Chains A and B, each alone.
Chain A
Amino acid sequence: MIDYPQYKLHERELIFKDQHKDLPEPSYAIMWEDPADPDAPMKVTKPSPTWLAMAMHGDILPPVEVYHALAEDEAQPGFKRHTRGHLLHDTQPVPAMTEQEAMEYLVKKDIPARVWRDYKGNRQILKIVPVHMIPTNREFRNSWKINQEAA
């Protein structure tokens, strides 16, 4: 049994990858629109198979609030370098998540807060959907928008 928390975050992934080969492609993706760029096409965010597997394994990823703390530091005027990077490695990792919980974590980690937290409009601008529901035909790629009728 590997004691992941004793290693730095990037070391945990190296160990995990060595132990877990040929991970399946994630079955969910995040479709979202950026209210800061309303003319842009819908965006599609997919987790890496390794990251998703680590999230579902547990005891590897730090709480998502750690990333928010670092983002706040980076947003300060005159930011040069992180001085609280140790939070990524030293904060007690989160336990195993379901795939749904992992996708919600990913929204908070990798999607701008103006989309999932601060948006006050009436349009639904973010959905977590099965990958097979996302069109693969690129002919009309730049006209994709989230269907407001779908539940």
Chain B
Amino acid sequence: MSTINAQNFGDGTDTVPASAVIQGTAKSWVNFNGQGTIATRDSYNVSSITDNGTGDYSLNFGDSFSNTTYLMAPGGQLDTAGGAGYSSIGFERIVSSKTTSGCRVNSGTAAGGHFDYLEVDILFVGDLA
């Protein structure tokens, strides 16, 4: 693997600093089945997933973040039953839900209550340690 060292990237018209590319790149992501026995379909920088209960999952990173100000962009699919697909996934409402090595997330329905998703998709952005 070769490394290109540059301070900026451009196409002749617009230029962005290399730091913008590095900062804006996902540092971890995962797509997993949250129903039945949980299973990772694909991932990057995720060592394991934990099923804590209905709609309650923990994710652990392979390479830790440098601090806990990273963010997640969640999405997913509740099921294939038809109808509107409003998903709701967020960090669990406890102090320890977010550490540099992992986080705990809940999934639910727009109507409220935990729900096991057919597909949980989460992308993380931040600084790695």
Do A48 and B36 touch across chains, with their CB atoms under 8 A apart? no
Do B129 and A85 touch across chains, with their CB atoms under 8 A apart? yes
Q: Which of B11-19, B39-47, B72-80, B83-91 contacts A (4 or more CB under 8 A)?
A: B39-47
Do A9 and B40 touch across chains, with their CB atoms under 8 A apart? no
Contacts of B47 in A (CB 8 A): 47-48, 51, 106, 109-110
Query: Can you name the residue of chain B whose Cβ is closest to the Cβ of A135?
Result: B37
Q: Which of B44-76 contact A (CB under 8 A)?
A: 44-54, 58, 60, 62-64, 66-67
Contacts of A134 in B (CB 8 A): 37
Do A15 and B1 touch across chains, with their CB atoms under 8 A apart? yes
Task: Indicate whether A81 reaches chain B with its CB closer than 8 angstroms.
Answer: yes
Task: Indicate whether A147 reaches chain B with its CB closer than 8 angstroms.
Answer: no
Do B49 and A138 touch across chains, with their CB atoms under 8 A apart? no
Do A88 and B129 touch across chains, with their CB atoms under 8 A apart? yes
Interface residues of chain B, those whose CB is within 8 Å of chain A, are 1, 27, 30, 35-40, 43-54, 58, 60, 62-64, 66-67, 99-102, 116, 128-129
Interface residues of chain A, those whose CB is within 8 Å of chain B, are 7-11, 13-15, 17, 25, 29, 40-41, 43-51, 61, 67, 70-71, 74, 80-82, 84-85, 88, 106, 109-110, 131, 134, 136-138, 141-142
Closest 6 pairs (CB-CB, A-B): A85-B129, A136-B36, A10-B63, A110-B60, A45-B50, A82-B129
Q: A7-B1, A47-B48 are in contact. List 9 more A-B contacts (CB 8 A).
A: A13-B62, A41-B53, A48-B30, A50-B43, A67-B64, A70-B101, A74-B101, A106-B47, A142-B53
